[in-house]
Amino acid sequence: GALVYQYPRRTICKSGTSMRMECQAVGFQATSVAWYRQSPQKTFELIALSTVNSAIKYEQNFTQEKFPISHPNLSFSSMTVLNAYLEDRGLYLCGAPSGNTLYFGEGSRLIVV
């Protein structure tokens, strides 16, 4: 079956520092990966869509300068939250489609202190 692993599960970082998270697809080829953020209020925001060998598409309010993404092959993607502040708190989810379904990793929770 299709599985998505994400790590680290949880990071506590000091305000102004950065956090890198990784996403691994197992059992299928992740030609594209979607990065979401779930806020403390539990709403989802799409950050960007990443497709191998294609430009990464960022949603409004999210930029490459703040959330650089790497997607070098069909099983791996990473995203960094640069200069994290309180408003960046939340659960960051990577999702990869297999067939007509988007499968999520377990999420990387960012806590900023």
16 Cβ contact list (under 8 Å, min separation 6): 83, 84, 85
Residue from the set 13, 20, 46, 76 that interacts with another protein by CB under 8 A: 46
User: What would the two tokens of residue 75 be?
Assistant: 């099983």
List the interface residues with another protein, window 1-40 (CB under 8 A): 6, 32-34
76 near another protein (CB under 8 A): no
Nearest approach in angstroms of CB 16 to another protein is: 27
Burial class (CB in 10 A: 0-12, 13-18, 19+), 92: buried
User: What would the two tokens of residue 35 be?
Assistant: 């990065």
Residue from the set 81, 93, 110, 112 that interacts with another protein by CB under 8 A: 93
Site residues (CB under 8 A) for another protein?
6, 32-34, 42-44, 46, 49, 91, 93, 95, 97, 100-107
